[in-house]
A and B are shown apart, each in its own frame.
Chain A
């Protein structure tokens, strides 16, 4: 297991073994063979993914550390410059530095994705847990509602929600979050059903546990692992979907820097300034891929 995997695991559960493992690692790391084994077990793809995510998170938190340009105010007579030493990724039609806009945009895109995943995770998981643990009619009612949500094309659904709520980055994020409720609910329900059937849950009821106590003590902690791995996966998807909404003009209004909006705005200059669409596009792809890779490692750590 890589160190990163261990970190990934420690993010997921408060496992008392983790410190033990660390101490073992540090004790054994003295032997050269062990160091070699650790080196060999490092997965470059996963390291790269964490690196990408780390950089993007820092962009979102401290954009001013990475660029001296403004994301919203252009520089006169610097319109549509190709990538150069002054402007690493070139400038757009208003003379704004593209790198600065991507860096400042990370904040909007990431917080949007977090809100979206948060909405899906909270509402979806709650519905799933209620359905899975109550069973019977409540289960039927909730899950049929979820089926209805699933039957509407996701983009269409989020567009209608944005129209209902009004335009804006938060509303777009909420809309994206609502479309992911269904998948969260389904996953959470299946996990709860699995855990509920286990002997230790029955034993907990058998030792006099009330429903809510058993739910909190056993069912929740044991069913949330896959839900959290799924949330990491959804993060990438949410960034993509929010960008889609931004591209269609349903997200952040200009001149807010937002990745989807950047791609949409650059579209008009595709022939003269390819970097305006291509580079934000590549950034979105990299972040989504990284989120997927990290989520995959969560899933493995669980097994």
Chain B
């Protein structure tokens, strides 16, 4: 709440000259089909000390805009019109050389992916020092001292040690802190943060966003925050710009836009954002699912060790996890990266033998199955992967992909197979015309529907969804979740839903297990866990869900 108050004071006394003024900006890319404009006539203002959120789905042109401002458009990109005024000077026609004088000093960038944005062969210290050296900030000793100061400032423990380390020795969150240190090193007037936390866990995300907030207040820097997450925008920005298809749909002060969105698209985005409201009860307007009398999945004391190099050292990825899932319901396994949730799921599906513990799926003990019996189990339990771009064979047509599981079991005549494929495609709301295409010709949401169709074509009882909606845009995500819900009701499916996104979990599941470092720290019905979290870690996770600050102040719909 303190931040919210601070935002108000900053914006109140800083209604003077804008730091950044974009007027009628148009950007296009040269491609195979000739020139294609992706940003049309966009105008916006960023005032000192203000956070302006640029929100939109993938392909909405938000990253292109951010790149245009800092002059880092891809080779085939071109500014086609409009002005970019930085402190009143139009920089849109500047050469790279001219831009070099202001990049880092007046505008800086926090890139999206901390794992690929640092040079792996240079030490952290050298990389932070680089920006200071380029802009000739003092002697070597002064720079070294300043590097340590910066690393301390962004909250890295043992800054002297960190300065000597290489990027691979740091975690994702620490690397993002280093990138922030580089961005704020020269106290620029404007920081462009391009999805600064999208690749990070939710608790780390909160800390990083807090840090950016803090530095912004301390230095009076303005931030242009590019994000797909309305929750993050709602928490952090004072001004929001909603982009779709390269056009501004709506812009205005955050509170106003959230409270009374004027345009249809913004309303849709708000409705689809899982973090901004609805729980499952609101989401599902229906009678209870067909809940079977028995448990579809029973996991007893599951332990999974991995050998580390030598034979003696083992890493315990999953440590004594137990839960049961009633037939026809959804159980979620929640945790951050490294919590063992995916490992647990893979043991349940039978892709690896657990070190100890027992797993029953539909009454069959999975852990003792081998060979042909294990293969038979695939008819009962199916897995849907996180990344629909990697889980479909690029060389197969959609028909072949969906048909394939049928070929693996009791041979059906060709017409029967085709009929089943057509039927399942209808079930997942895909047009029959996609059957002859290959995955690369489909959008992310369509591909995920194909993956779900492939999983369902064998009529399984249990579907394991490993972060199945995490890679998708919020509106697509909402559609897929709706589809899953529909399928569950129609087919009486049991879902095991693996996710790091608590907001989604709250929306879709009935029961939940919270995993932390391989241990189950919490579990039970979703509302119980959310209302009365049993562990400090669960509380931390829940409080890190973005979109709570403003969501609690305003009611939607």
Contacts and interface: CB of A to CB of B under 8 A. Distances in A.
A204 B404 contact: yes
A17 B438 CA distance: 9
A16 B387 contact: no
Contacts of A16: 397, 436-438
B397 A206 contact: no
Contact of A199 (B34, B385, B396): B385
B395 A221 contact: yes
A13 B455 CA distance: 27
B454 interface: yes
A84 to B, nearest CB: 52
Contact of A208 (B34, B451, B458): B458
Interface centre among A200, A217, A218, by most chain B C-beta atoms within 10 angstroms, is A200
B519 interface: no
Contacts of B376: 208
B378 A207 contact: yes
Contacts of B441: 17
Given A199-B385, A203-B385, A217-B404, A208 B393 contact: no
B395 A13 contact: yes
B390 A200 contact: yes
**What is the interface of chain A mostly: helix, strand, loop, or mixed?**
helix
B380 to A, nearest CB: 10
A15 B441 CA distance: 12
Contacts of B395: 13, 221-222
Interface residues of B, number: 32
Interface centre among A33, A199, A210, by most chain B C-beta atoms within 10 angstroms, is A199
Contacts of A203: 383, 385, 391-392, 451, 454
Contacts of B385: 199, 203
B409 interface: yes
Contacts of A200: 390-394
Nearest to B455: A207
B103 interface: no
A82 B495 CA distance: 84
B320 interface: no
A209 interface: yes
A192 to B, nearest CB: 14
Interface centre among B395, B409, B455, by most chain A C-beta atoms within 10 angstroms, is B395
A16 B441 CA distance: 11
A28 to B, nearest CB: 9
Interface string B380-420: 00110101001111111100000011011100000000000
A217 B404 CA distance: 9
A245 B209 CA distance: 68
Interface string B348-365: 010100000000000000
A30 interface: no
Contacts of A218: 393
Contact of B408 (A13, A198, A213, A222): A213
B412 to A, nearest CB: 13
A169 B77 CA distance: 56
Contacts of B449: none
Interface in A109-143: none
A206 B394 contact: no
A198 B34 CA distance: 34
A221 B379 CA distance: 26
Contacts of A205: 351
Nearest to B381: A206
A198 B454 contact: no
Contacts of B405: 207-208
A202 interface: yes
Nearest to B393: A200
B393 A207 contact: no
Contacts of B438: 15-17
Given A198-B390, A200-B390, A206 B408 contact: no
A221 B441 CA distance: 19
A210 B375 contact: yes
Interface in A2-23: 13, 15-17
Interface string A25-63: 000000001000000000000000000000000000000
Pick the 3 closest A-B CB pairs, nearest first: A207-B405, A208-B408, A208-B378
Interface of B: 34, 349, 351, 375-376, 378-379, 382-383, 385, 387, 390-397, 404-405, 407-409, 436-438, 441, 451, 454-455, 458
